[in-house]
Chains A and B, each alone.
Chain A
Amino acid sequence: MTHKPDLAKEFQRGLLATLPLAPGVIAFGLLYGMVARGVGFSPLEALAMSAIVHGGSAQFIALDMWHAAGPGTIILTTWVVNLRHLLMGASIAPHLLGLSWRWKAFLALWMSDESYALAIAAYEQGQGNHGYFLGANVGVALTWWGSGWMGAMLGAAVPDPTRFGLDLVFPLAFMGLLSAFLHSRLHLAVALIAGWLALLGAQFLPGKWYVIIAGIAASGAGLLLEEGTRRWKRS
């Protein structure tokens, strides 16, 4: 965007962009709340965990080990599971250069896989800005917090999201956003390498390591391929 974006309007646009993902977020939020209840959390505690930690998969993993592991192990595991955000932060950082450190710190607070994907795809299409990014963050956050609280209130009455295939919403949404990046054969190659490495990694690596390994390796391969084709064209 060359002109100054209207923040309120862009915020609204980002907020609305989260709507198609909402069924997926809500399905997992309800499940999270139910699991939290099962571990012995009150609805308020389930909500507090979402609002304070704000990390979907890390919350599930923490609940899974809540009674079996000490606080140190839980926090260390959370750290490792969320290390992938280093990679996401690094790739979105070039779009945030003009912002104050306050804005940067605020945008990082509720950055999720989903809101990152929405924001980075918007930036790629020349339609991204901090208002949109914040809107996406807040949209996903409110849906996640609210549905988690609801799930804890409902307890065992929550249906399994996989029963309606709602676990498919995330990969489908990410595919739609991924398509914004497939403007060259090189990018398509990077996507295929990353997908293949992630599939392989998900079988053998613990937690979310496959995102980090596949993300670094495939983007590195993209750089090498770019360098290679440039030299080949020159010779």
Chain B
Amino acid sequence: MEEVLIFIGMAIVTYSSRVAMILLLGREMPALLKRWLRYVPVAVLAALVAPAALAPRGELEFGVQAWAAVVGAAVAWRTRNVLATILGGMVTYWLLKAFGF
């Protein structure tokens, strides 16, 4: 039972961050804020990608994973397609692993 109380506490703090800006930001946003927000998605997505691709265990790694990420980035750039990017990166990873890298 105590677990569920902790879960609920965790849920409240998590949900508050998720919902706060969505509810608070209305139509009367300052122009500067609006312009800034247009750059936030690209910044957040890149910030999520880079460490997950190049430093999955916290330290920079230039192994099979990094090469697969490079191929994935090239496919993403050319095709702008999620499925193609995932397949390109994963196939590169599995091929390199299969050849003993």
Give the number of chain A interface residues (Cβ < 8 Å).
91
- Chain A residues proximal to chain B, CB less than 8 Å: 17, 20-21, 41, 45, 48-49, 52-55, 58, 62, 71, 74-76, 78-79, 82-94, 96-97, 101, 104-105, 107-109, 111, 113, 117, 120-121, 124, 162, 164-165, 167-182, 187, 190-199, 201-203, 210-211, 214-220, 222-223, 226
Interface residue tally on B, bucketed by range? 35 or more
Contacts of B89 in A (CB 8 A): 168, 172, 175
Contact indicator per residue, chain B 44-66, by CB within 8 Å of chain A (1) or not (0):
11111111111110111000110
Q: Is the CB of B36 within 8 A of A169?
A: no
Q: A89-B18, A92-B22, A199-B60 are in contact. Are A79 and B13 (CB under 8 A)?
A: yes
How many angstroms from the CA of A211 to the CA of B16 in the assembled complex?
A: 18
Q: A74-B6, A169-B90 are in contact. Are A94 and B43 (CB under 8 A)?
A: no
Q: A85-B17, A109-B15, A168-B68 are in contact. Are A93 and B25 (CB under 8 A)?
A: yes
How many angstroms from the CA of A66 to the CA of B45 in the assembled complex?
A: 30
Q: State the Cβ distance, B91 to closest chain A Cβ, in Å.
A: 10
Q: A94-B25, A218-B46, A219-B40 are in contact. Are A199 and B54 (CB under 8 A)?
A: yes
How many angstroms from the CA of A92 to the CA of B85 in the assembled complex?
A: 24
Contacts of A171 in B (CB 8 A): 48-49, 52-53, 69, 72
How many angstroms from the CA of A45 to the CA of B5 in the assembled complex?
A: 12
Summed over the interface, the residue pairs from A and B with CB atoms below 8 Å come to a total of: 283
Q: Is the CB of B39 within 8 A of A222?
A: yes
Q: Is the interface of B mostly helix, strand, loop or mixed?
A: helix
Q: Is the CB of A108 within 8 A of B19?
A: yes
The chain B residue sitting closest to A123, CB to CB, is B41
Contact indicator per residue, chain B 22-44, by CB within 8 Å of chain A (1) or not (0):
11111101001011110111111
How many angstroms from the CA of A32 to the CA of B8 in the assembled complex?
A: 18
Contacts of A174 in B (CB 8 A): 45, 48-49, 52
How many angstroms from the CA of A91 to the CA of B80 in the assembled complex?
A: 21
- Chain B residues proximal to chain A, CB less than 8 Å: 2-11, 13-27, 29, 32, 34-37, 39-56, 58-60, 64-65, 68-69, 72-73, 75-77, 79-86, 88-90, 93-94, 97
Q: State the Cβ distance, B69 to closest chain A Cβ, in Å.
A: 6
Q: Is the CB of B20 within 8 A of A182?
A: no
The chain A residue sitting closest to B37, CB to CB, is A91
Q: Which of B37, B39, B51 contacts A94 (CB 8 A)?
A: B37
Q: Is the CB of B10 within 8 A of A78?
A: yes
Q: Is the CB of A181 within 8 A of B35?
A: no
